[in-house]
Amino acid sequence: MNFHGGDIYSCQGEVLDFSSNINPLGVPESFRMALCEKITDFTRYPDIQYRALRAELAEYLGFDDPELVIPGNGAVEIIYKTILALESARMINLSPTFSEYARAARQNGVEVIDLNIYDASFTDLDFSLLFAALIPNSLVVLCNPNNPTGTFVEREKMCFLARELAQKDCFLLIDEAFIEFTDHYPENSMIGELGHYPNVILIRAATKFFGMPGIRLGFGVSKNKQLIRGIREHLEPWNVNAAAVLAGCTVYRDQEYITASRAWVKEEREFLFHQLSKIDGLTVYPSKANYHLAKISRGKMDAWALKNRLLEKGVLIRTPDGFNYLSAYHFRLAVKDRPSNQRLVEVLREVLSCHG
Amino acid sequence: MNFHGGDIYSCQGEVLDFSSNINPLGVPESFRMALCEKITDFTRYPDIQYRALRAELAEYLGFDDPELVIPGNGAVEIIYKTILALESARMINLSPTFSEYARAARQNGVEVIDLNIYDASFTDLDFSLLFAALIPNSLVVLCNPNNPTGTFVEREKMCFLARELAQKDCFLLIDEAFIEFTDHYPENSMIGELGHYPNVILIRAATKFFGMPGIRLGFGVSKNKQLIRGIREHLEPWNVNAAAVLAGCTVYRDQEYITASRAWVKEEREFLFHQLSKIDGLTVYPSKANYHLAKISRGKMDAWALKNRLLEKGVLIRTPDGFNYLSAYHFRLAVKDRPSNQRLVEVLREVLSCHG
C-alpha cells in the first residue's frame, strides 16, 4: 500500500502533480552539469566514511563538527536508524504528520502514541498534552515545518520543548526537511542550538528543497556522539551512492538556486493561498512551507472523489491516506510554478462549484 | 575500520587500483548518456514499487516472475535484509569470503560459524565439513565465484548442496555478484534452478560487472514468496535511487558492453595469471572471476609490507584484512587493462626480487 504523495507511476498520461511537495524549480542545473562531467565517480565505491560529503554538509549548516553529520540514503534511512540506535521506550508521534516516523518505530518494535496536539486551524501545538504522555526514555518526533499542515514551531518554543524533554530523560527528533522553504531560514533552524541539547537530533534532506526526491540524500546532525556512533553502527556500508554524494557536494553551494527557490516559493505560496482562499466550499490553512493543507468545507464529495474528478482534468492531489487525524475531506497541495498554480485554482473552482 | 578494497580515498596522488575488483571497462557509455538525458528523473520519487526496474531485471535474467525480484541499495542491502527476514538459528559462513555476510548476521544477532572448507589451492570445497556444522534453520552463504579466491561451484554441485540443505531445513544464499565474469555464464547460474529450490535466494549486482560500485544497485531473486515479502517488509521506502534505477534499466540491455567485457576479462585474466605464475616468490591461484588471489611464498615480507612497497610505485593491492583463513602473506589483485596489468607484473617482480 502506498501512503505517500507522488505516486504518478500509477497514473496514465500527462499529469500536473500537486501531490508531491518538492521544489518546482526542479533539479539544480549545477547538479546536472556535475553529474554529466563526473560520471567516472561511479567507477569507484563511495568513500565508506563520506569525508568530503560530511565536510560539505557541515559547511552549509555552519556546524562545527563534520564527524557528527551522518548522511543517509534519504532522510528516511537516518530516521529508521535513529530509532534503532535510541532504543526508546515509546515514540510520541505528533499527527497529522509524515507517516514514516510511526512506521519506523513500529517496524523496530517501539510502541507509538499518536497525539493530535494541534489547534483546529493547525497553527499551533499544545505541548502540555504531549508532556502528559511522556514516560522516561520517550522519543518525540516533530516535523518542522510540519508535513502536511505547514505549521512551524519557532526556535524559542522549540528550545523550551527540548529543555523540558531533557529534564524528563526524553529525546527529540526534529525533521527540518522543508525548513529552507520558510521565510526566516536559517535563523529559525535548531542547528545553532544543538550544543545546548544533546537530546536532540536534527534531520535534513536534499529531497524537497533541491527538487530531487529521486536522489535519496538526507542526513542527521546532533551533538550527541553516542547517538551518532549508534546510528553509524546500524548503517550498511556505502549507503549513499555516488550520484547522491555528488549532489550533496554540488547543490548546497549553489547560492543562485537557493536564493531563486526561496523567492519563488514565497511568492507562489502567497499567491496560491490567496487564490485558494477565494474558492467557495474550500478551506485552506496558512503554511510556512511549500504546500498547503486544504479541506472541502461544503458538500458531500470527499478527498478521494475530488482526486478522481481532478485527475480527469490532469491534476493530481494528495489525499489524506496515512495521515492520522485528518478527515476524509482534507487534502494537500504542493506549491508549483505560476501557470500550474493557476490551472489548479481553475479546476478546483470548476469541480467544487459543479458539485455545490 | 575499513576492511574492504578500493579505499583509494585514504591514498595520496595517482594510484593504479588493483584492490577493487570491478570491470576495467568502467561505466557503460549507455548509462552515461541515459543519465545526462534523463536528469529529470531525479525530480520524482522513484516508483515505490520499482515496477519497471523489476521487469527489466527479470527480463535480463530470463526469470518469469518480476514480483520475486527485489532491488536493493547495493547487494549488501538485500543480504542484510535477507538475514533479518529469515531469522535463521545460525549462519554458516564459508571463509575466506566477503566479510559483509558475517557482519550482517552478527549485527542482527545471528550466531556465525565460520568454516574453511576449501582445499589448499582454493579450487574446491568439501561440503561434508559444512553438513556437520548444520542445525535446523541454518543459513549457508556461498559467494559464487567466491571473493577473494575465485573458486567456482558448478551448477550440478550447487543443486546437490541446495537439495541437501532443503532436507535439513536449511537455507542457501548464493551471491553471484561476479558470475558474469565467468566463462560459462549464463548456463552456470542457479537462476534456472530456483523453481526447484525455494530454500535458495540468489543475489546479483551491477556493481562489479558493470564497473560502477558507486551506483549501488543489487537485487535478490528467489521463488520463495514468503521470503521476498519478508525482505520487502524490512526495506525502507525508496531504497534505490533514480540513478540506480536508470542504470538498471540501461546497462542490462547493453549487449555490446556485456560481450566486450566478458571477452576482455577472459583474455586479461589469462594473461595476468600466466605472467604472475612466472614471478619467483609468488603463488597465484587459478580464478574464474576478474581477480586473482596470490601469496608471497618466499621471504619475510607480508602483504601489508608489500602493499606499502607497491604504493610507493603507485600500485594498490588488497591486503587480507577482514578475510578469515587467509594468511598474512595472501593478497588479492583485480584484473585490469593490459597496460595496468603489465605495470603490476613489473613492479611485483621488482619488489619481490629486491626482497628475495
Tens of pLDDT, residues A181-200: 999 999 999 999 999 999 99
Rg over alpha carbons for chain A, rounded to the nearest Å, is 20
Q: Is residue A213 packed enough to be buried (19+ CB in 10 Å), middle (13-18) or exposed (0-12)?
A: buried
Same-domain status, B217 and B317: no
Inside any domain, residue A80: yes
Same-domain status, B169 and B239: yes
A-chain CB neighbours of B43 within 8 Å are: 22, 26-27, 211-214
pLDDT, position B355: 57
Any alpha helices (H) in B27-95, and if so which ranges? 29-37, 51-61, 75-86
* β-pair partners for A143: A175
B-chain CB neighbours of A48 within 8 Å are: 2, 4, 7, 9
From A253, A273, A293, the end of a domain falls on: A253
**pLDDT tens column, B99-151:** 999 999 998 999 999 999 999 999 999 999 999 999 999 999 999 999 999 99
From B222, B253, B284, the end of a domain falls on: B253
pLDDT greater than 60 at residue A2: no
Element (H, E) at A172: strand A171-175
Using the structure block, give the residue that is written with the C-alpha cell 543475489: B203
Inside any domain, residue A314: yes
Reference B96, options B287, B314, B320; nearest CA is B320
Same-domain status, A140 and A77: yes
Q: Chain B, 201-230: which have a CB under 8 Å from a chain A CB?
A: 211-216
pLDDT, position B2: 47
Query: Any CB–CB contact under 8 A between B243 and chain A?
Result: yes
DSSP state of B245: H
Mean pLDDT of B144-162: 98
Three-state secondary-structure class, residue A65: coil
Q: Which of A49, A233, A244 sits opposite B241 (nearest CB)?
A: A244
Inside any domain, residue A1: no
A-chain CB neighbours of B36 within 8 Å are: 32, 35-36
Inside any domain, residue A2: no
Range of the structural domain that residue B124 is part of: 29-253
Using CA atoms, how far residue B157 sits from A97, B36, B95, B312, in Å, is: 53, 44, 18, 44
Using CA atoms, how far residue A11 sits from A132, A261, A311, in Å, is: 44, 28, 9
Mean pLDDT of A325-354: 95
Contact A35 B39 (CB under 8 A): yes
Query: CA of A59, closest CA in chain B: separation in Å?
Result: 20
Rg over alpha carbons for chain B, rounded to the nearest Å, is 20
Query: Any CB–CB contact under 8 A between A14 and chain B?
Result: no
Query: Any CB–CB contact under 8 A between B36 and chain A?
Result: yes
Whether the CB-CB separation of A43 and B214 falls below 8 Å is answered with yes
B-chain CB neighbours of A8 within 8 Å are: 44
A-chain CB neighbours of B233 within 8 Å are: 107
DSSP B145-196: SPTTT-----HHHHHHHHHHHHHTT-EEEEE-TTGGGSTTTTTTSSGGGGGG
Query: CA of B74, closest CA in chain A: separation in Å?
Result: 8
* Residue of chain A with shortest Cα separation from B21: A44
Same-domain status, B210 and B261: no
Same-domain status, A179 and A116: yes
In which band, very low, low, confident or very high, does the pLDDT at B352 lie, cut at 50, 70 and 90?
very high
Inside any domain, residue A42: yes
ipTM of the complex: 0.87
Same-domain status, A12 and A103: no
Q: Chain A, 119-158: which have a CB under 8 Å from a chain B CB?
A: none
Inside any domain, residue B3: no
N- to C-terminal Cα distance for chain B? 32
* Residue of chain A with shortest Cα separation from B211: A43
Q: Chain B, 60-99: which have a CB under 8 Å from a chain A CB?
A: 73-74, 76-77, 80
Same-domain status, A13 and A61: no
pLDDT greater than 70 at residue B4: no
Question: Which phi and psi (to 5°) does residue B229 adopt?
Answer: -65, -40
Query: CA of B348, closest CA in chain A: separation in Å?
Result: 24
Query: CA of B323, closest CA in chain A: separation in Å?
Result: 17
In which band, very low, low, confident or very high, does the pLDDT at A12 lie, cut at 50, 70 and 90?
low
Same-domain status, B72 and B198: yes
Query: CA of B211, closest CA in chain A: separation in Å?
Result: 5
pLDDT, position A4: 67
A-chain CB neighbours of B22 within 8 Å are: 43
Mean pLDDT of B189-203: 98
> Could you give the CA distance from residue B22 to residue B24 in angstroms, rounded to a whole number?
6
B-chain CB neighbours of A7 within 8 Å are: 45, 48
Strands B69-73 and B217-221: antiparallel
Q: Which of A42, A48, A76 sits opposite B4 (nearest CB)?
A: A48
Same-domain status, A248 and A264: no
pLDDT, position A355: 57
Work out the percent of chain A whose per-residue pLDDT is above 90.
88
Inside any domain, residue A292: yes
Contact B216 A234 (CB under 8 A): no
Mean pLDDT of A276-293: 96
pLDDT greater than 80 at residue A6: no
Neighbours of B83 (CB within 10 A): 24
Query: CA of A241, closest CA in chain B: separation in Å?
Result: 5
Q: Which of A41, A73, A74 sits opposite B214 (nearest CB)?
A: A41
Domain tally for chain B? Answer: 2
Inside any domain, residue B143: yes
Q: What is the CATH number of the domain that holds B122?
A: 3.40.640.10
> Could you give the CA distance from residue B26 to residue A44 in angstroms, rounded to a whole number?
9
Using CA atoms, how far residue A333 sits from A58, A145, A276, A320, in Å, is: 32, 15, 10, 11
Question: Which phi and psi (to 5°) does residue B179 adopt?
Answer: -65, -30
From B208, B232, B253, the end of a domain falls on: B253
pLDDT, position A315: 96
pLDDT greater than 50 at residue B1: no
In which band, very low, low, confident or very high, does the pLDDT at B239 lie, cut at 50, 70 and 90?
very high
- B16-36 exposure pattern, b = at least 16 Cβ within 10 A, e = fewer: bbbbbbbbbbbbbebbbebbe
Same-domain status, B156 and B200: yes
Contact A214 B36 (CB under 8 A): no
Count CB pairs under 8 A between chains A and B: 164
Query: Any CB–CB contact under 8 A between B57 and chain A?
Result: no
A-chain CB neighbours of B31 within 8 Å are: 39, 42
Whether the CB-CB separation of A43 and B26 falls below 8 Å is answered with yes
A344-348, B84-88, B298-302: segment of lowest average pLDDT: B298-302
pLDDT greater than 70 at residue A80: yes
**What are B89's three cell numbers?**
538459528
Same-domain status, B195 and B206: yes
Same-domain status, A160 and A63: yes
Query: Any CB–CB contact under 8 A between A182 and chain B?
Result: no
Whether the CB-CB separation of A45 and A238 falls below 8 Å is answered with yes
**What are B256's three cell numbers?**
555490446
Indicate the average pLDDT of chain A. Answer: 94
Using the structure block, give the residue that is written with the C-alpha cell 609468488: B282
Q: Which of B40, B216, B234 sits opposite A27 (nearest CB)?
A: B40
DSSP state of B204: E
> Could you give the CA distance from residue A306 to residue A327 in angstroms, rounded to a whole number?
14
Q: What is the CATH number of the domain that holds A331?
A: 3.90.1150.10
pLDDT, position B39: 83
Whether the CB-CB separation of A280 and A291 falls below 8 Å is answered with no
A-chain CB neighbours of B214 within 8 Å are: 41-46, 241-243, 245
Q: Which of A43, A215, A238 sits opposite B42 (nearest CB)?
A: A215
Three-state secondary-structure class, residue A298: coil
